[in-house]
Structure 1
Amino acid sequence: MPNKNLSNLLDSAQTAQRIPVKNLSPVTSSGKIHIREQKGQLQQLRTGINGLFLALFFLLPFISYEGRQAILFDLSQQQFIFFGTTLWPQDFTILAWVFITAAFLLFFITVFWGRIWCGYLCPQTSWSFIYVWIETRIEGSRNKRYALDKAPWSVDKLKKRLLKHIAWATIALFTGCGFIAYFVPARDLYLDIFSFGASFWVTAWVWFFAICTYLNAGWMREQMCLHCCPYARFQSAMFDANTKTVTYDASRGETRGPRKRNEPSSLGDCVDCNLCVEVCPTGIDIRNGLQYECINCGACVDACNQTMNKFGYPANLISYTSENSLAGKAEPFYESYKFLAYGIAALIMVSVIAVDIYNRNSIELNVLRDRQSLYRETVDDNIENSFTLKIRNKTQQTRLYRIYVSGSNAYQLVGEANLTIKPGEQLDYPVTVLAKPELLAGTRNEITFTVAEQHNYSQISQQSSFFAPI
């Protein structure tokens, strides 16, 4: 009997400790989040940035420079063309430094504005909002879409769903073309794809990225942000007390509760309208505090300010603010060790890129000796060695070059020393070098080949060995 009373007492205590959970997430029974369309200053800013980003994404491949596509990853020729500069595989360390620098700049911005990249510039967010916009135009508002999901299949429902998915697929196909246009000539790609004249591999890659876009933006959406994106998991490690992120002012908003307009209330400013949840693309309730799912898009800020304006309350119950700001503290951001660390790291990376670009040469030279014989003696008792010079013109213009040989001995180059090399071409040029045996210091002598661009200061040198008899 005492054991039974103890068990009942424990059950009662556990029941008393349970926190009631109110399901505020606008999720259908199928698990899909239906976003309420929201307007406001931040959404106008986000739409403008997304529009600029999309315009650049689709139009950049059509920009020409010096008669060629300005930006092109030419995989068949193993070169990356960027506005007159050609990067070859051996130059891709520059791209690596660029990506590393971009990462540190992202971390640097995150210290101040949190996950702002995700809300305003991330392609996943941009395309998801485009797909939601199309869905809203065809199927109606959030409530209508929710009702359409629950409604039995009919001709009207089939028509709306078919039209929506056709629009999604069209956007996805153009997106696939837009991405591949950076790898094959853009002016021919669209015509070849839509006239079914493209090669198998080009068509396959276009459709691969089209399918990825269709699935990511149309079906997965917030699942990519919640479960697939690694940035969502580690971005909180970069936050500090001065990081401005979308935050609910609980001291002002609680205790929340509904009320009528222009009616005195002892409650907090939050009227529990739930709009901040309904407009959230990841379906969270920002009033529960900082959450890794928040992408800082500002939709809840605009929705809350809209409600505050209707009730005559001050704006920014939900706003971009920091922990110190909420607490009334004013600490300079530049005193943060994270600010210094990421800032210094970004400056170092930019310096490395600058040095790498400065030291980059527009000529590539590789000297190969003739492996069949170390040396040959001529009829006039001179010694000759044969070499093959692999010279690459890394520019996008035809260049004139001159070959020089130098060393501790009087070397003489046999053959034509002036060369013309086409853009991006690698020329295998065999040369023969003569030397008088009495001027050679030993059996193995140093020799330097220099290839210099005429009418320019660009040149490159490489050492090799000149062999002679004992």
Structure 2
Amino acid sequence: MNQIPVKDVTPKGNRGDENYDLYAKREHIYVKYYKGFFKNFRTISGFMMLVMFYGFSWIQWDGHQAVLFDLPSRQFHVFGFTFWPQDFMLLSWLLIILAFTLFFVTVFAGRLWCGYACPQFVWTWFFIWAERVTEGDRNQRMRMDKAGWSGEKIARKTAKHAIWLIIAAASAIAFVGYFTPIRELVPSVISWNLGPWETWWIGFLTVATYANAGWMREQVCIYMCPYARFQSVMFDQDTLIISYDDIRGENRGKRKKGVDYKAQGLGDCIDCDNCVHVCPVGIDIRDGLQYECVACGACVDVCDDIMDRMGYERGLIRYTTEHALKGGTTHILRPRLIGYFIAICAMFIAFSYTLYSRVPLEVDIIRDRGQLYVEASNGMIENVYTLKLANKSQIDHRFSIEVTGVEGIKMAGDSEVLIRSGELLDHPISLQADPRFLERPNYDITFKVQALDDKSILVEEDNRFIGPVKR
């Protein structure tokens, strides 16, 4: 029966031995250069992510940095929207949507996120490119590492690590530029005039990026990333994953082109090990489905190239499903996938509606609790309030304040206020009402705060007006 193979890859010396060492020394992975469709697709997706990461902080929007998380002011600007700490519920909502999207993609096509969009691997391939440019391809790097130190080796190693550090430092500056305005940060970096906060984080992120993408690489994915551990529970027999067709490929063996290898009892696999040499996590896909596999498609590209050279059919290693390998039919639409899709659509529609119907004004009314009411010198009953008004938009607005709910109620204080962009204003007012119209000891009143230059910015907030108890 044809199915995705699973093979015991425990080192031979450890099988059946109850006292073996769980620690295995890391073997450096020399990734071979190759070409192919999936590599081109990954290059495009990675390039787009790098452009967004390095470029979004430089975009200006209504006179502000388009994406800026201003922690001291507790304001988060994202393309025309300004969010405050009390809006973190929207962030939680967004994270839930992204989590369901990740589940949906995993059920449909396995670890597609890891192979084509994960920042760890985007930067890892970036660093591998720098390694190849300075030290050469796989065989050259292996020979150089085995050889003794020479002037050329020192120069190449120095150039590689210099490029790594430049990329890491640029990444750190770009990241901090989302918290400190990038147009102020870069001149400060150039002039060595950074504050302690920026200095610490740029230094820390430079070291972290240099270590993770340059030295640790696959170790982050294998040992540190939790996704590798739980993603398999979302797989089913219709999940699209990379697999080796062992029925077609076995038995492996070398052969000459044009020779009838079938008569020799050989399969299509020529045992060139190129699928191993191009794998960024160093696994052999022919050993079966493994949690280390990040579904980057490198082995598919290089195997297809070998098949083309040998004149064999492509697809010895390919994106496929277990049902397809068994000769059955792959079911794209299945209950779990449909359920995830419906949930994502419903949450996204609700999130979008909430976001775009959100009024960039927050009104919080605090009634003076020191005394219920005051009888003014003119005989009017007076209540005192403090209006906390937050302008969440990225432009200044002048607002009008109106109060309804009690006949003849009057406002003592400014009925119009100017609130700057991102400003939180405490605006005290007092309301006076004629006791002749106060039949009850308390009334529901409504504060109406509206922008004079934009009628769509309107908030109505309820409160209470307290009067004397009539006997």
TM-score (norm 2): 0.91
Structure 1: gaps spanning 5 or more residues: 1-16, 23-27
Instruction: Give the CA deviation at 1:432.
Output: 1.0
Contact 1:97 1:352 in 2 (8 A): no
- SS of the residue 2:164 aligns to: helix
Structure 1 residue aligned with 2:150: 154
- The Cα shift of 1:408 comes to 4.3
Residues 1:142 and 2:141 aligned together: no
CA drift of 1:30 comes to: 5.8
- Cα deviation per residue 1:78-105 (whole Å; 9 max; x = unaligned)? 1111222111111121122112111111
Please tell me whether the aligned partners of residues 448 and 464 of structure 1 are also in contact (alpha carbons under 8 angstroms).
Answer: yes
**5+ residue gaps in structure 2?**
1-7, 14-23
* Residue in structure 1 matched with residue 5 of structure 2 by the alignment: none
Match status 1:365 vs 2:374:
no
Name the residue aligned to 1:55.
Answer: 51
Alignment of 1:200-219 (within 5 A): 200-219=196-215
- 1:356 is matched with 354
Contact 2:321 2:330 (C-alpha < 8 Å) held by counterparts = no
Q: CA 1:20–1:440 in structure 2 vs 1: closer, same or farther (change >3 Å)?
A: closer
Q: Does residue 1:249 correspond to 2:245, yes or no?
A: yes
Deviation per CA, 1:397-456, whole angstroms, max 9, x where unpaired? 111211111114432112321222111111111111001112213333332222122241
Query: Structure 1, residues 319-359: CA drift from partner, whole Å, max 9, x if none?
Result: 1111122222224311x222122112212321331342255
Give the residue type in structure 2 aligned to 1:462: E
Aligned in 2, Cα 1:261/1:331: closer, same or farther, shift over 3 Å?
closer
Q: Confirm or deny that 1:308 pairs with 2:307.
A: yes
1:75 aligns with 2:71: yes
User: For residues 154 and 238 of structure 1, what CA distance do their matches in structure 2 show?
Assistant: 51
**Which of 35, 39, 47 is the matching residue for 2:35?**
39
Describe the shift of the 1:241–1:314 C-alpha distance in structure 2 as closer, same or farther (beyond 3 A).
Answer: same
Residue 183 of structure 2: aligned partner = 187
Deviation at 1:29, TM superposition (A): 7.7
- Provide, for residues 130-160 of structure 1, a one-character-per-residue CA deviation record: whole Å limited to 9, x for no partner: 1111111212221222223233333333222
Name 1:327's counterpart in structure 2: 326
Please name the residue that 1:178 is paired with. Answer: 174
Determine if contact 1:238/1:338 at 8 Å carries over to the other structure: no
Corresponding position of 1:387: 385
Give 1:383 shift. Answer: 0.8
- The reply on whether 1:295 has 2:294 as its aligned counterpart is yes
Query: Are 2:403 and 2:446, in contact at CA under 8 Å, matched by a contact in 1?
Result: yes
Partner of 1:459: 458
Distance in structure 2 (CA, Å) of the matches to 1:202 and 1:460:
38
CA RMSD of aligned residues (A): 2.1
Match of 1:261 in 2: 257
Q: Distance in 2 between the 1:199 and 1:37 partners?
A: 42
What is the CA–CA distance in structure 1 between the aligned matches of 2:328 and 2:238, rounded to whole Å? 9
Which residue number corresponds to residue 21 of structure 2? none
Residue aligned with 1:463, SS: strand
TM-score, reference length from structure 1: 0.91
- The CA deviation string for residues 267-298 of structure 1, in whole angstroms up to 9 with x for no partner, is 10000000000110011110111111111111
User: CA–CA distance in 1 between the matches of 2:248 and 2:86?
Assistant: 58
AA of the residue aligned to 1:415: G
Q: 1:21, CA displacement in angstroms?
A: 5.5
Contact 1:388 1:428 survives alignment (8 Å): yes
Of stretches 393-402 and 442-451 in structure 1, the one that deviates more from structure 2 is: 442-451
* Shift in CA distance, 332/271, structure 1 to aligned 2, threshold 3 Å: same
Q: Give the AA of the match of 2:306.
A: T
SS at match of 2:38: helix
Count of residues in correspondence between the two structures: 448
